């Protein structure tokens, strides 16, 4: 347990259960079962840092828009755009990547990165797409607070773009 604690404390992002297992096997020159490492780490309350589920939760005070794309025929560019956020693991924490894509062409219209989940980098990507490619008929997103914020949706509304949101985060 001392070896687990030492290595996990030094670098919790890089060392989850599998890498801890390999590290201990190399130090002790023994075969160790991963399930044992899992059990010991659970007892210690140690876990690797990783992106937890539901990082994009809706804000209670934001408007949720209906999903408009069911049975919708997408047959030309600039008809439907979509946006989503993913994370990129780094040595210490995460960077968040947002991309806007045209559904018909599957072309990435713009992207932006940030080290926080605030919506400024999403707005930056949206403004860049609108400037370069005009406007879509429908803009689709999930219900994450970045996309339901008044600051974000007002840009879409000011351009007379219909807003569509997936039903679950």
> Is the domain of 39 the same as that of 110?
no
Is 51 among the domain residues? Answer: no
Please say whether the dihedral angle defined by the alpha carbons of residues 73, 160, 68 and 56, taken in this order, is positive or negative: positive
Is 49 among the domain residues? Answer: no
> Is the domain of 141 the same as that of 86?
yes
> Is the domain of 40 the same as that of 100?
no
CB 55 within 8 A of CB 118: no
| CATH code of the domain covering residue 114 | 3.30.420.10
> Is the domain of 84 the same as that of 155?
yes
Distances (CA, A) of 66 to 71, 122, 162, 169: 14, 20, 10, 13
pLDDT digits (tens, 9 = 90+) for 53-101: 555 566 667 788 999 999 999 999 999 999 999 888 787 778 899 999 9
Average pLDDT, rounded, for the chain:
84
Is 6 among the domain residues? Answer: yes
Tokens of 133: 């490619």
- What is the pLDDT at residue 51? 55
Percentage with pLDDT > 70 across the chain: 85
> Is the domain of 86 the same as that of 141?
yes
Is 118 among the domain residues? Answer: yes
> Is the domain of 37 the same as that of 99?
no
User: How many CA atoms are closer than 13 Å to the CA of 125, on its beta-carbon side?
Assistant: 25
- What is the pLDDT at residue 29? 77
> Is the domain of 91 the same as that of 40?
no
> Is the domain of 84 the same as that of 30?
no
pTM over 0.85: no
- What is the pLDDT at residue 169? 43
Whose tokens are 């044992």? That residue is 36
Distances (CA, A) of 44 to 11, 17, 48, 69, 74: 16, 12, 12, 47, 52
Between 115 and 89, where is the model more confident?
115
Is 68 among the domain residues? Answer: no
pLDDT digits (tens, 9 = 90+) for 5-34: 776 676 665 667 777 778 778 877 778 777
- What is the pLDDT at residue 20? 74
Number of domains in the chain: 2
Is 52 among the domain residues? Answer: no
Question: E strands of the chain, at which residues?
Answer: 80-90, 93-102, 108-114, 138-141, 162-165
Radius of gyration of the chain (CA): 21
> Is the domain of 96 the same as that of 158?
yes
Is 71 among the domain residues? Answer: no
Residues listed for the chain:
169
> Is the domain of 35 the same as that of 89?
no
> Is the domain of 90 the same as that of 33?
no
Domain range enclosing 111: 80-165
Q: Is the model's pLDDT at 102 over the cut of 90? A: yes
> Is the domain of 97 the same as that of 159?
yes
Q: Is the model's pLDDT at 156 over the cut of 90? A: yes
CB 24 within 8 A of CB 37: yes
Is 67 among the domain residues? Answer: no
């Amino acid at each position: 347990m001392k070896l687990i604690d030492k290595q996990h404390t030094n670098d919790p992002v890089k060392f989850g259960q599998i890498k801890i297992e390999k590290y201990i096997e190399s130090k002790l020159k023994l075969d160790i079962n991963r399930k044992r490492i899992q059990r010991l780490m659970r007892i210690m309350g140690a876990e690797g840092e990783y992106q937890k589920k539901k990082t994009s939760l809706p804000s209670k005070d934001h408007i949720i828009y209906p999903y408009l794309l069911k049975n919708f025929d997408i047959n030309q560019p600039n008809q439907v755009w979509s946006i989503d956020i993913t994370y990129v693991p780094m040595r210490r924490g995460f960077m968040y990547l947002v991309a806007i894509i045209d559904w018909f062409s599957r072309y990435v219209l713009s992207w932006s990165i940030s080290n926080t989940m605030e919506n400024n980098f999403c707005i930056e990507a949206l403004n860049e797409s609108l400037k370069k490619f005009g406007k879509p008929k429908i803009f689709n997103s999930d219900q994450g607070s970045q996309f339901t914020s008044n600051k974000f949706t007002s840009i879409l509304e000011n351009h007379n773009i219909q807003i569509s949101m997936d039903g679950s985060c």
